[in-house]
């Protein structure tokens, strides 16, 4: 998305689920103070192995703010990648997700979280991932269920921003 159309402020390394929300709220306050308020905040979190009460607390904290949406992946973000290849509705852990992604009919190489080519490898499969994520939400709609995700909602917003930028 061109910066003159919309500014996207990625912020990584916030730590755990609650810290991600708190960091986003701090950035929001800072932006308001500098008279450049955010339009909306999307906080992306994984369930990972964080205690259930911390994970739940992240959602509670975000719900107090109308301009904050939590994007989750349970158990981890790699679920979104797997949905590019297949619909998975039964519980899956991080280690198994990595194995599934590494299969010959998927990435066809060992999955590496730091792989800079992932976006390019998956880009043409995004419609399938979206369809699979929507179908998964019909079965597992709670962020507390494994597997579950709503990453497709954020991706939809980014695609819409990109399309709107092209039209201007």
| Predicted local confidence at residue 48, as pLDDT | 87
- For residue 5, what pLDDT is reported? 67
**What span, in angstroms and rounded, lies between the C-alpha atoms of 28 and 43?**
12
Give the model's pLDDT for residue 164.
87
Task: Decide: 5 and 158 in contact? Cβ < 8 Å.
Answer: no
- The whole-number pLDDT of residue 49 equals 84
What pTM was estimated for this model as a whole?
0.91
Contacts by 127-130, CB closer than 8 A, 24 or more apart: 128/83, 128/84, 128/85, 129/80, 129/81, 129/83, 129/84, 129/155, 130/155, 130/156
Burial of 124 (0-12, 13-18, 19+ CB in 10 A): exposed
> What parts of the chain have a pLDDT lower than 50?
none
| pLDDT value, residue 50 | 81
pLDDT for the residue 165: 85
Nearest to 84 by CA among 126, 134, 26: 126
């Amino acid at each position: 998305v061109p910066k003159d159309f919309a500014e996207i402020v990625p912020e990584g390394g916030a730590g755990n689920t609650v810290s991600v929300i708190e960091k986003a709220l701090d950035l929001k306050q800072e932006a308001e103070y500098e008279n450049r308020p955010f339009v909306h905040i999307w906080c992306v979190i994984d369930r990972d192995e964080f205690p259930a009460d911390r994970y739940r607390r992240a959602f509670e904290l975000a719900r107090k703010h109308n301009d904050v949406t939590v994007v989750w992946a349970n158990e981890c973000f790699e679920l979104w990648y797997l949905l590019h290849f297949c619909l998975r509705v039964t519980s899956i852990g991080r280690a198994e997700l990595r194995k599934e992604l590494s299969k010959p009919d998927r990435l066809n190489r060992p999955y590496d979280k730091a792989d800079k080519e992932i976006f390019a490898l998956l880009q043409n499969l995004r419609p399938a991932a979206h369809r699979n994520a929507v179908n998964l939400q019909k079965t597992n709609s709670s962020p507390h269920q494994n597997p579950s995700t709503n990453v497709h909602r954020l991706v939809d917003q980014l695609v819409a921003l990109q399309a709107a930028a092209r039209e201007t």
